[in-house]
Amino acid sequence: MIEVYDVVYSVSIDGAPYRRVCGVLDDVWKVFYVKPENGTLLENVPFDHAYRFVSTLPISGVHATRTWIRNRPQINIMYAGAFQDIAITKCKTFSLRVDYKLRNVTMKWLLDNLSVEDATPYIIQHGLQSYL
């Protein structure tokens, strides 16, 4: 069954408790045909491994960059509710977790955000055939 889920990322640095990260818009959602599993993308990995992973995968609120003067690798993290991002140039362990939360959507949201190929099965599966 097709469903729309909010995607929520959390980061733990050096064994600290997980904290939610968010991007500028913080409206990350995905359409799934099978219920996704919450899970850990990275668990207690060294900084170099985390930097390579983050630089290849777009994650809202976590970005791989380099320092201006010495051109060293760094990971910028924007925590939820923070006014500016935090730059990390080294850490012992880095963990990244993803959680999927089912999103309740309106008909207007469906028509504004989904393609016809995704919206039509969603409407049919949820018993809204009178709208088609």
Q: What is the pLDDT of residues 40-49, one digit of tens each?
A: 999 999 999 9
8 Å CB contact between 7 and 30 = yes
pLDDT in tens, 18-54: 999 987 666 788 888 888 999 999 999 999 999 999 9
**pTM of the entire structure?**
0.82
List all residues 6 or more positions away from 8 whose beta carbon is below 8 Å from its beta carbon: 20, 28, 98, 99, 100, 101
